[in-house]
Amino acid sequence: MIQITSRFYQKVACPRLVSMSEEDNGNIGRIWIRVGSTEVDLTGSAREVNDSWLKLKEQDTWASALSKIRTARQDAIEAARQSINETGIPERGSAFRRLLENCNVYRTGDVILAAIHYLRSVEKEDDTPPRAVKRLIGDSGRWTDAEIEKWNLSLYINRMLDDSSSRGRPALLAYPAGKEKNRYVVVTDAGRDHLERLSS
């Protein structure tokens, strides 16, 4: 579990994971982060906090904590893949549903992103037309086929491809080289980070 709290009274350069709020109460900053049993609490001037954060990121303890998060996520993917191999495709829906519930994925766009990630990482598919993504989501049993049919997958996918230009955020999806169709999109590092943040 990751918990992050930050408060800056003047805007400073800060890590991507930490959100900022501005108040007119002076030049005091604080970052508080908990990753598992590791806790970080930095307080001081905005510059001191920023310098301390940069030093902390270079330490082995912080790198180790992030590594544990990635390992836990990979273990969950491996468990889902093993479940599919042992019990067959009918279990894919319940495995995907458990992934959604365990990772706090509820919004439509996030569900679609998680489905693409699941199809690429667990089932090792590289060609997933919208009907395949909808089928996986339907197999989870959380939505009816009629509900899912109303979702405009192409619109959601295009938004996640265009985030970098239209919203100033990194794109969550990208086309592989030479395959510029939505059925081939892959989850970017930013997309995986986004799913990790949802599960924290």
Per-residue pLDDT for 174 more than 90? yes
Q: Domain check: are 191 and 154 in the same one?
A: yes
Residues 22 and 111 reside in one and the same domain: no
Segment 30-56 mean pLDDT:
72
pLDDT at 69: 62
When mean pLDDT is compared across 50-59, 70-79, 129-138, the lowest value belongs to: 70-79
The mean per-residue pLDDT over the stretch 147-158 comes to 93
Given a cut of 70, is residue 10 above it in pLDDT?
no
pLDDT-based confidence at residue 26 (cuts at 50, 70, 90): low
Same domain flag for 150 and 112: yes
Using a pLDDT cut of 90, give the percent of the chain over it: 30
Query: Is 111 in contact with 97 (CB distance < 8 Å)?
Result: no
Question: Do 115 and 141 belong to one domain?
Answer: yes
Distances (CA, A) of 24 to 10, 13, 32, 43, 155: 8, 17, 20, 17, 40
Residue 193 has pLDDT above 60, yes or no: yes
Whether residues 45 and 115 fall in one domain: no
Number of domains forming the structure of the chain: 2
Claim to verify: residue 80 and residue 120 sit in the same structural domain: yes
What's the pTM value of the predicted model, to 2 decimals? 0.56
Same domain flag for 27 and 95: no
Domain residue limits at 112: 73-198
